[in-house]
Amino acid sequence: MSRPAKAYIDLLALRHNCELANSLAPNSRTMAIIKANAYGHGVLPVARALEPLVPAFGVTCLEEAIELREGGITKPVCLLEGTFSDDEIPLAAELGFWLSVVNKQQQQSILRASLKTPVTVWICVDSGMHRLGIAVDDIESTYRMLAASRNVASDIVIATHFACADELASDLTYRQLQQFKAGVASLANADTVPLSLDNSAGLLGWPETHADWNRPGIMLYGSSPFSVPHAEADRLQPVMTLRSSVIALRDVPVGDSVGYGARWSAQRPSRIATVAIGYGDGYPVHAPDGTPVLVNKQRCSMVGRVSMDMITVDVTDLPTVAVGDEVILWGKGLSVNEVAGCAGTISYELLTRMPRRVPRVYSG
């Protein structure tokens, strides 16, 4: 009998979300972002499920890309942060990886590398997020030097990243779009250079920013990038359901406390269920009293401080609860966004930091 804490991964829902992404921009190509172990979902099963649906994948670094090749994935893989040392470039070229150029140092490293095969390059442009990327004013010179190099394939892509696409009332996305377009317009072949702008929020919420390539990430896993209801995002299906079981029940009299620090005390005679899940399993340690969980598909409140391996739940209003009953921490029936909001974080963090000790169980 194994510990009941498990992450159930619905690959049918994953493919549904990818097909939705494809349908929102039918004239674009989709690069599925599967960095950070596919946002905690397991990179190889996710990549295998998505490979028939997308022409390319995006990861953070060479190590993540190599894992895909060793797992049998043959589609192009883009290193979204480029390379971190010059010796990575020949290996990336040999394995058919695409390289982002996020600064002039990476550009020069590619130009002076000794390569047998040219690499496809994505020029990352800083249009206003001020994190990575070359300056808008440097687009023309960067493109010209790379395009003239034998080390670079002819299909150069120019990309940028939006800072506030998840805030539909913000005007920063429009300003970034205009900055980016103005910089690209400096190219002699501006009308034919492939462009990439959209992450999940851009793809879902900003149709005017759809370009030749889109880069959906969080939406593939069924989590909305928005904090408010959204017609397209509400069509997403959760892929991960974090599930465990009740392992103990006890009656707590009025005034007695539960858990470390005695944070929560019973205000009425209470029935408390102990659940085999904790921050060692990726459940947020900062989840406050009242964070919802589903016990036998009924909403209950988590009470008391989260432990490494356990949480406690007030099931006073569910008199039939028994040891072994199912508990859902997030997923089908309980949005990971809601749980993240209670804990003062975002769904991206809860999903991507899911530890390896929680078995993934795949279906579909």
pLDDT of residue 218: 98
Q: Residues near 191 by Cβ (< 8 Å), separated by ≥ 6? A: none
Q: Which of 347, 345, 350, 342 is nearest to 289 (CA)?
A: 342
pLDDT of residue 239: 98
Same domain, 168 and 244: no
Same domain, 247 and 162: no
pLDDT of residue 217: 98
**Residues labelled catalytic:** 35, 260
Rounded (5°) CA angle 307-289-8: 60
Same domain, 258 and 202: no
Same domain, 283 and 259: yes
pLDDT of residue 1: 57
pLDDT of residue 93: 95
Contacts 24+ apart (CB under 8 A), 71-77: 71/43, 71/44, 71/47, 72/48, 73/44, 73/47, 73/48, 75/51, 76/120
Q: Which of 75, 243, 236, 102 is nearest to 161 (CA)?
A: 102
Q: Which residue has the tokens 């394939």?
A: 153
Which structure tokens are listed for 112?
């002076």
Arithmetic mean of pLDDT over the chain: 97
> Does residue 94 form part of some domain?
yes
Which of 224, 257, 288 is a domain's end point?
A: 224
Q: How do residues 200-233 score in pLDDT, each as one tens digit?
A: 999 999 999 999 999 999 999 999 999 999 999 9
Same domain, 158 and 183: yes
Q: State the DSSP H helix or E strand holding residue 87, giving kind and residue range, or none if neither.
A: none
Same domain, 70 and 152: yes
Same domain, 207 and 270: no
Per the structure, the complete domain to which residue 321 belongs is given by: 240-363
Same domain, 94 and 189: yes
Residues with pLDDT less than 50, the chain: none
